[in-house]
Chains A and B, each alone.
Chain A
């Protein structure tokens, strides 16, 4: 099992694809920094105009913590897209190259092989999120300093500087769980269709569709929200609410965990009964 895992990790981390996604993420974070450096003051002055009319506002509004928080908004589309490009390939790549047939003629169980691939997927997701967290936080802290964070959730929240890092850590951990759930779904599609592109398209299609339903809650769609994985993925934002609603977040974490377990379980059933000669 350990040997299979080592091989899977070697394959994962010797692929250009893996490092390209890391590089794009770093670039994304730097673009967020650059954008807020050039226009941040103007945008936020406009947003808080009513406050400026009535108050002297003192302090560093455009600070590293605010930028790190805004950078986390890439969790919505950009990060899932980049993650599944790699994680679907972990599973369907073997089918596309035909190496799965050779692999399964070796004296290893299918369950062990799939477990190794799932662990690789989880390790990749954790590495990816560590890079996101590091590059969202550290360069912006160095260049913009720290300070209280203005967050536009449920009105306007002033998040105190002292509590920010812990909230950010919680949000990053939650994001790892969310991305593992999303990757598990993409993995299932990859195994089902044995094709990376189809799996990516299906996963992204669902992400976009659910996002639209969730964002434009109209009439009958409102009752569907709790069944949308995008609704639960978005709950990382609640860590940046003045009083963190842990029970709501735990419900969503449980949904995402159950979603991961479901897709991993179904993938095991599918993979173990799969006719590889097809």
Chain B
């Protein structure tokens, strides 16, 4: 009987340890991305979404921890909510389970699973460098807004010099009265209620 109790205690210890204790690599990554950095930068935003013609914009942005970024630019500016630097902060600040998947050269591949029922993200696959703790690639699955795939490039800083974000976005449904008269109604009759189109954003960062 005592033997069984010992076995149960030991097994329980390992299961608790496995759920809550991250390995050192992930801890280092969390430390790096959740540090209280305040960042000011200029970003050239290039947006390619099927069915939209959005000119490239240069915007000024200030990132602060746990706050909506401050965005300033000429005219109408669009800045992605997901896939930017502050998303990794949000991602790694919440309770998560990290599962090591593989190692490719110096890069580690992990799957992160959110343990917070209220967080928007559900799972994330990340590829980061073991030495520098910089995330090079991520695929984040969210509850409301689908999947975001991000590829980052770095120069000599811990912040990316370039990010490419790909995602799916619901097609904008234009009510008939807003359809340009130049177009016919039949062009809009095949609009699927929840039709999604591919979106791609390229962010080119310049830091101060």
In the complex with contacts A156-B51, A158-B54, A217-B186, A148-B76 CB distance below 8 A: yes
In the complex with contacts A50-B171, A51-B172, A54-B199, A156-B75 CB distance below 8 A: no
Q: How far is the CA of A59 from the CA of B78 in the complex (A)?
A: 9
Contact between chains at B185 and A216 (CB < 8 Å)? yes
B106 within 8 A of A: no
Tell me which of B79-87, B128-136, B155-163 binds A: B79-87
Query: What is the chain A residue whose CB lies nearest that of B181?
Result: A234
Chain B positions within 8 Å of A153 at CB level: 180, 182-183
Q: Which of A188-227 contact B (CB under 8 A)?
A: 211, 214-218, 222
Interface residues on A, range: 35 or more
- The smallest beta-carbon distance between B182 and chain A, in angstroms, is 5
In the complex with contacts A47-B172, A50-B169, A53-B144, A156-B52 CB distance below 8 A: yes
A41 within 8 A of B: no
Contact between chains at A152 and B53 (CB < 8 Å)? no
A57 within 8 A of B: yes
Secondary structure at chain A's binding surface: helix, strand, loop or mixed? mixed
Q: How far is the CA of A215 from the CA of B189 in the complex (A)?
A: 12
Q: How far is the CA of A234 from the CA of B182 in the complex (A)?
A: 5
Contact between chains at B167 and A215 (CB < 8 Å)? no
Chain B positions within 8 Å of A237 at CB level: 180-182
Contact between chains at B76 and A216 (CB < 8 Å)? no
Flag A56-68 by CB within 8 Å of B: 1 or 0 each.
Answer: 1111110000000
Chain A residues packing against B (C-beta within 8 Å): 47-51, 53-61, 73, 76, 147-148, 150-158, 160-161, 211, 214-218, 222, 234-235, 237-238, 241-242
What 17 new A-B contacts, CB under 8 Å, besides A59-B76, A214-B181?
A: A49-B170, A50-B169, A53-B81, A54-B82, A58-B79, A152-B174, A153-B182, A153-B183, A155-B52, A156-B53, A160-B55, A215-B181, A216-B184, A217-B184, A235-B182, A237-B181, A238-B182
A-B contact pairs, 18 of them (CB 8 A): A54-B169, A55-B81, A56-B69, A56-B78, A56-B79, A57-B78, A58-B77, A60-B76, A152-B178, A153-B180, A153-B183, A154-B183, A156-B53, A158-B52, A161-B75, A216-B185, A217-B185, A217-B186
